[in-house]
Structures are given as C-alpha cells and as structure tokens.
Structure 1
Amino acid sequence: MNRPKLNIIISISDQLLALYDSDRLIKSYPVCTAKNGAGELFGSECTPRGKHIIRAKIGAGQLSGSVFVGRRFTGEIYQHGFAKSQPNRDWILTRILWLSGLEKGKNRLGQVDTMRRYIYIHGAPDELVTSTPSSHGCIRMLNTDVIELFDRVSVGSSVLINE
C-alpha cells in the first residue's frame, strides 16, 4: 500500500505544525521551536527556515517516552520530573524525524546544513512543549502527537519552516 505524500508546514511565530495532504489541512499540532529564534548557522541553536525533507525516521515501535541520545535508544523511559532533576539535558523522546535542507547555501551544505546540525522533529516531555520557544533548534512535539505524525509521514515528505 502506498502512502499519500503528505507535507508539513511549521510556523515559528504561531508555534504550530500543520500536516497537509496537498492543500487540504489534515491536522495541526502545537510545537516548541528554538529559544534563539530562527536561523541557519551551525552552532546558533536556532530553528532553520525554508524547504526541507524528512531524511530519516528513527524510533519506530519504541514506547512513548523512550529516551534517545545520538539517535539511539538509551534504554531509559522518561518519567515525569526527570526534566527538573536534569535541567540541562536536551530530552529527545519517542520518535525522531531527521530533517535535511533543500536550499543550497540557505539550509543545505556548509555552515548552514540542517542535517549536519542534527535538526529534528521529535518528542519531548509535555512540560517542555509550550507556546514559548525554548528548544536548542529542533521542533519539539508532545509524545502522542509525534507518534501520530511519525506514522503518517514518509522519508521524503516535504517540510516547510516559516517564521
């Protein structure tokens, strides 16, 4: 069975991710983007703008709350309160959609390469997915939402990130 080619539009200003089938809105999800705002430079901890694709899907079949480091499951399952006890840890949970830029010189290659910056759409603790930008550049989602999105999109699905 072939899946329809769905596309994603992320609004940094609205902190929303919208899933479309062509021009038809399927669903919107709350997200949390970078505390440092929009930007593409390596080391900026900003959310990159422009046209991207999903290059890889990681975490299929893992439990909600599964903790990932370096795109590998650590064996941990996130428990409420871990974020308070380990406030400097960047919690990447449940599923990872690894993004790759399509615009050479803007978000692809050199010092602006989204994939080399390890920018993901990923699950996060519920208390860290607020309407206030606070990530290190990635797009954080609620775990239940990222599972649903992960199961609907494919490698190669387009992702447009707008301010």
Structure 2
Amino acid sequence: MMRIAAVAHLAGLVLGLAACGHARRQASGEAPQVVVPAAQRLVVSVAEQMMVTMEGGIPRRLFRVSTSRFGTGDKRGTYLTPLGRMEVVDIVGQGLPVGARLKAREHTGEIVPVDAPGRDAIVTRVLQLRGMEWRNRHALERAIYIHGTPEEAKLKTTASYGCIRMGSEDIIALCHWVKVGARVDVVEGKLPAPNQLPP
C-alpha cells in the first residue's frame, strides 16, 4: 500500500507540474502544445519484484511480478533475467481464457488452474521481448517473455526461469493497454521515480 501511495504521489506531482506549465503558456500567450500519443513504458524492479506501467512519463499502475530465481544476466544457456532496455515485439494469446497454456507461443488447448500443484506453465498471455542493448542482446533468441503464470502464490519472489511472470488477470489487464513497440526496462534496484528513469 505504501508503494502504491508513493507512485500515486509521484503521478500527482507530475500532473501538477504539467498543469502549471500549461497555465504559464496560456498567461504568456504561447501557442498550446500539440498533443501526441504518449510513449508506453514498463519498468520492472528486481529488488522489489514489482512492475510499474507508465504513459508519457506518468505512472499508471503497479503489478506484482516474479523474475529469475537464478539472478540477472543474458548468457546463453542460462535461466537469468536480462537487465536493461528491451521492447515488446509481439503480443500472443489475446482472447484466450485465463490459464490457457501456451507452448512455443501456441495454445495447447489445456487450461491450467491458478496455483495448480506442480505446474510451472506459461499461461494466458505472452509479451515477447527483444533486447535493445549489448547486455541483453540475446533476450529474443532466449525466449525471454513477460507472461502469465499459474504459480501466483510465488509472485513477489524470485521464482522464474528467466522470464518475467505475472498473475493471469494482471497480464490480461496489461495486454488490454500495451502495444507492440512499448519499452521495457528491467532494473536491479527499486522502482525509480519518473525523473530518475534511464533515458
């Protein structure tokens, strides 16, 4: 709750500053700024096992996630979660029911219940990621995803095999909003304030 309040406070500050700037432009007779579609950004904190979604630099929503139990990195043949800037290159599973199992990004026809014993499947939706930096250049070939997991009891802990896991209802909500091309930043520390995000 404290983290949600902090993000809401940050959003209020950003909106307040934007409103002040708009008022100053009107008072000075400056032409109004043209509104362009806001850039989408997802920021994942390994330290907090949380994701914040942002649009135009303004925080929108917090989600619980789970990154690798083996740590961070991008070495081939490992189960590490890569750090740094990536982008969404595909969204798979739109319209599938909660718990729909995906293998090689195809629906198998199976539905896996939440917290089904002994199940560690990829379910519901997949956001396929491509690394945009040298340190995460293997992300696409390593099949690093943001995806739904049936192991929702393990969210907020390091439990995955390299991917970024989310609860099924959460990833459905995310996929209603996110578009191909959205930026994804995975940071080792805590979620940064909007003005402290990597450029």
Cα distance in 1 for partners of 2:151, 2:159 equals 13
More helix by share: 2
| Partner Cα separation in structure 2 for residue 6 and residue 54 of structure 1 | 10
* Deviation per residue, 1:24-75 (Å, 9 max, x gap): 1000100000000111111220110000000110001101110001110000
Report deviation, 1:130.
2.2
Higher normalized contact order (CA 8 Å, seq sep 6+, divided by chain length): 1
Give per-residue Cα distances to partners, 1:84-143, cap 9 Å, x unaligned. 2xx3x531010000000001x3111xxxx1000000000011535422201000000000
For residues 3 and 91 of structure 1, the distance between their equivalents in structure 2, rounded to whole angstroms, comes to 35
Percent identity for Structure 1 against Structure 2? 34
SS, match of residue 46 in structure 1: coil
Paired with 2:181 and 2:67, the residues of 1 have a C-alpha distance of 22
Task: Give the structure-1-normalised TM-score.
Answer: 0.88
Alignment partners' CA distance in 1, 2:161 and 2:66: 10
Structure 1 residue 79: deviation in Å? 2.3
Give the alignment of 1:13-162 within 5 angstroms: 13-80=47-114, 82=116, 84=117, 87=118, 90-103=120-133, 105-108=134-137, 113-162=138-187
Q: Give the 3-state SS of the residue equivalent to 1:115 in structure 2.
A: coil
Question: Quick check: 118-127 or 147-156, which moved more?
Answer: 118-127
3-state SS in 1 of match to 2:135 = coil
Contact kept, 8 Å, 2:115 with 2:153, in 1: the verdict is no
The residue matched to 2:91 in structure 1 has which SS? strand
In structure 1, C-alpha distance between the alignment counterparts of 2:153 and 2:105, rounded to whole Å: 19
Q: Distance in 2 between matches of 1:153 and 1:56?
A: 10
Amino acid at match of 2:86: H
* Between 125-134 and 145-154, the greater mean CA deviation after superposition: 125-134
Say whether the 8 Å CA contact 1:99–1:114 is kept in structure 2: yes
Q: 1:10 to 1:70 in 2, by over 3 A?
A: same
Q: Return the alpha-carbon distance in structure 2 between the equivalents of residues 129 and 81 of structure 1.
A: 9
Q: Which has the higher strand share?
A: 1
Q: Which has the larger radius of gyration?
A: 2
CA distance in 2, matches of 1:90, 1:122: 12
- Distance in 1 (CA, whole Å) between partners of 2:172 and 2:128 is 14
